Chains A and B, each alone.
Chain A
Amino acid sequence: MRNNGLGRYFIRRLLQALPLIVGVVILTFVLIHLAPGDPLTILAGDGGSPSYYAEMRARYGLDRSIPEQLGRYVLEVLSGDFGYSFSYQQPVFQVILNRVPATLLLMVTALVFSTLVGLWLGVRAGSRPHSWSDYLINVFTSTFYSIPVFWLGQLLILGLSVGLNLFPVSGMVSVRESYTGFRQVLDVLHHLALPALTLALSFMALTTRITRTSLREALAEDYVRTAQAKGLSERTVIRRHALRNSLLPIVTLIGGQIGLLITGAALTETIFAWPGLGRLLLDASLQRDYPLLMAIFILVSVTVIVANLLTDLIYTMLDPRVRLS
């Protein structure tokens, strides 16, 4: 019975999401086309004759009005055709899928790391408010939160790669070597460390702060006092009772971060020459590769919607008071 309800809920939510996706498509399409810039340099090169440019414009449908281009695009997308990338001359999803593994590896690592460390720091800070460790954690996380990620990345390269020679500067593998098996895994992890650390440091602050606040609230609840009165150790009180109830906002936060997984890494990927999706998005926007740009936006919005849906489902598991309706 419960499963049936869940299934129906899932489907209803997905249907509700459709108009949202259509809205995102229309809005981004119009914004992209209204923004100054032109993909013609990529398509046709420079130094050509006016007639050649007109011909290329017509060939790619760029001579039509924006509403007409939008209409044609929507029809194509509905028939499952997301078009060809201007700069890669390949179906866009082929281009995108190529980049997904690198981005997932980077983002999942960063997210797991930032969540674990953030939770740990948050619990430490929240269970001993206004102690020196609370202040220290506060200073630490706020600092990394406020440093722009591209600068942080360069500082880490300068310090840990160039200075201490611990990590490679850029890329995902050592191109001169042809490692296989376990050595290859180690090599990728070696390259992964710095970009993942850069991202994790910037994510961590929010997780820490929200854990701290939410734990403080939970600790003031009656059931916690009851647990304490039962004579449970502080450790058990926090782990078993307070923390579990303070997880809701953190789950929301992580859900939101998953939604931005794809775009969020654009700068970090660019700094570290990491061959991921965020950099593809940046390249596509600089070159005005409209079909590629649109497909990435659609992918991102679907990810955001699915992540939110999953967040809501996890809510019900964590807190029986929350019901799906």
Chain B
Amino acid sequence: MKRYYRLSAVLALLLSGLMAACGDATPTVPATTAASAQTAATTTAVTTQAATTSATTTAASQATTVAATTAAATTVASTTQVAATTAAAAGTPKRGGTVVIAQSSDPGQFNPAITTSGGIHPFTDQMFNGLVGLDDNLNPVPELADSWVVSDGGKVYTFKLHPNVKWHDGQPFTSDDVKFTFEQALLKFHARTKAGLENVLDKIEIPDPLTVVFRFKQSYGPLLQRLDVVEASIIPKHIYEGKDVQKDPAILKPIGTGPFKFVEYLKGDRVVMERNPDYFKPGLPYLDKVIMRIIPTSSTALLALEQGEIDYLGSVPGSDIERLKKNSNITLAQGFGGSGGTLCQDVLIPNLTKAPFNKLEVRQAFYQALDRQFIFNQVYFGQGSPSTGPISRQMWAYSPNVKIYPYDVAQANQLLDKAGFPKGADGNRFSVTFTHSATSYARLADVMREQLKQVGIKLELEGLDTNAAVDKVFVKKDFDLGVVSYCNGSDPEIGVRRVYVSSNIGPITFSNGAAYKNEKVDQLLDQAAAQSDRAERVKTYAELQKILTEDVPYFWIVDSQGYRGYRSNFQGFRVSAGPFLEVAWVK
């Protein structure tokens, strides 16, 4: 008897370890977040987003244009679902108050210059600044830099820094900090900034304490888009000099220049920040205190919001939106981009290195066999809009003039016949394994399986935990079809290039998972990066989108646009990650 119990205890222990390691022990979240909130929030970049009135107006007018120009496409026509988010509503902001925010995971540490983690930036972006900010249309606006001049045909950027900016410990902020941050942290450890700049940047010069000069080897257009607090938070040289920027204990007691100062971090429970009285933007911020609570389950976080335990939830599960709309204590605002990042898209990734997806006809047929309007309504609860191509329709570089693939089962069947995949006796042409994150995409998987039956494609579902799914698709390359939330970021150079450029074929997460190679595409991407005039870049990206939609190397499902929910006595949230609390206030 005794022995039996002891043995069973050890067995249970090992089993729990095994289950945890295999990633199956994650039934904590009932599959409610169909809108893939989880993936975006935990694994991808958090970039600036915003949804004040002007952003929504632009988005609405863009969507209308799309509907008009591609009237034939039923999938696109009904996408003008842009909520009138008036985050900066009427009333004069006043100072004071505390806001309690829910975050789904622990930050772990607070050095924003060494990480792209979507789990860290929502915290640090309130405490740090970038050289440049981004407004609601992703246009660069002054932040730590008051002004800038681009010269030598886009090869030299000269920034004038804001005078009298102080770090939270009272030390002055100077150009030394900028140079140090780039050379010792961003260009070494911030994956995206390093990848984007290391080959094109020649050097950073600091002629005086308030001037920073970036010299490039060639003309470089997107620099201003990648200097915000998400892509390039500036950290203090006097704290980190001569230390390990990844491991020094300073990463747990952040000193920034931002609107809020760090107070304490209780692991697994909360991070507390207070108003920075010496913030360089006069009068800001309004709130006295920010408490970010770590609540891992979205259903619990939602109930906590309804009960008033928290004031703000960055990602409301799609299935709860209708119910919450009836609650007058809670305001819902449709954000700019996905839950965790800027302008995210849920995208299916076919493995182009083998049959059947190496054939263009199969890809075209597959895309047409998916009723994306139905998926949009039933899986995403109408959040965002069905995608038409590789760039989110909210991005300035979006082009509606692309090849479209309306839902058409008959044509899909024809194309598959033509491609040499006749239906077998059981009605199946071939089967495809769909490797996906079960926490985020279980519902999508079920719907797709049913839809694909109609064209004789048998979808085998392989639901894993997010980390394992990402590993199989991007690193191990052991898959037929995958799915992920790709965020475009504040510039296509940041979030679009990495998905389609052939130099990114390799074991790199969130990159060219399909292994797509097209020299013309590579060349257009390079061309767009070197152009410094945005109008020119728009034209280049339009051509790129045309080619990509003809090739369908990926299947773009939804341009994400998740809902944020907050207690109605709050106003002025920039409804975003990035410095979303800078101008928030409580009535």
**Which residues of A come within 8 Å of B, CB atoms?**
20, 24, 27-28, 31-32, 35-38, 40-42, 44-50, 52-53, 84-85, 87-90, 95, 98-99, 102, 148, 150, 154, 157-158, 161-162, 165, 168-173, 175-176, 249, 252-253, 255-256, 259-260, 263, 266-267, 270-273, 275-276, 279-283, 285-288, 293, 297, 300-301, 304, 307-308, 312, 315
**Which residues from A are CB-within-8-Å of B468?**
35-37
**Which residues from B are CB-within-8-Å of A37?**
23, 465, 467-468, 471
Bound complex: CA A96 to CA B511 (Å)? 34
Q: A46-B116, A175-B293, A260-B9 are in contact. Are A88 and B306 (CB under 8 A)?
A: no
| Min CB–CB distance A74 → chain B (angstroms) | 17
Bound complex: CA A263 to CA B247 (Å)? 28
**Which residues from A are CB-within-8-Å of B117?**
42, 45
Other 17 A-B pairs with CB < 8 A, given A46-B191, A49-B198, A287-B467: A24-B14, A47-B116, A48-B195, A48-B508, A87-B108, A89-B247, A90-B109, A98-B268, A157-B300, A252-B5, A273-B296, A279-B268, A281-B20, A293-B20, A297-B13, A304-B10, A304-B13
**Which residues from B are CB-within-8-Å of A273?**
269, 293-297, 300-301, 304
**Complex partner residue of B21 from A38, A87, A271, A285, CB under 8 angstroms:** A285
> Are B190's CB and A45's CB within 8 A?
yes
Count the B residues whose beta carbon is within 8 Å of the partner chain — how many?
85
Is B538 interfacial (CB-CB < 8 Å)?
no
**Complex partner residue of A47 from B6, B293, B309, B495, CB under 8 angstroms:** B495
B33-56 interface code vs A (CB 8 A; 1 in, 0 out) = 000000000011100000000000
**Which residues from A are CB-within-8-Å of B149?**
none
The A interface, classified by DSSP as helix, strand, loop or mixed, is helix
> Are B13's CB and A283's CB within 8 A?
no
Q: A28-B17, A273-B300 are in contact. Are A267 and B268 (CB under 8 A)?
A: no
Q: Which of A32, A53, A308 has the most CB of B within 10 A?
A: A53
List residues 503-531 of chain B with CB under 8 A from any CB of chain A. Answer: 504, 506-511
Bound complex: CA A228 to CA B246 (Å)? 72
Q: A47-B45, A154-B299, A252-B1 are in contact. Are A169 and B309 (CB under 8 A)?
A: yes
Bound complex: CA A287 to CA B14 (Å)? 19
> Are B12's CB and A260's CB within 8 A?
yes
> Are B472's CB and A36's CB within 8 A?
yes
| Min CB–CB distance B43 → chain A (angstroms) | 6
Stretch of B98-106, B453-461, B578-586 lying at the A interface: B98-106
Is B328 interfacial (CB-CB < 8 Å)?
no
> Are B303's CB and A161's CB within 8 A?
yes
Closest residue on chain B to residue A308 by CB atoms: B6
> Are B268's CB and A276's CB within 8 A?
yes
> Are B507's CB and A259's CB within 8 A?
no
Closest residue on chain A to residue B17 by CB atoms: A28
Q: A53-B508, A84-B247, A272-B300 are in contact. Are A285 and B191 (CB under 8 A)?
A: no
**Complex partner residue of A41 from B2, B18, B194, B470, CB under 8 angstroms:** B470
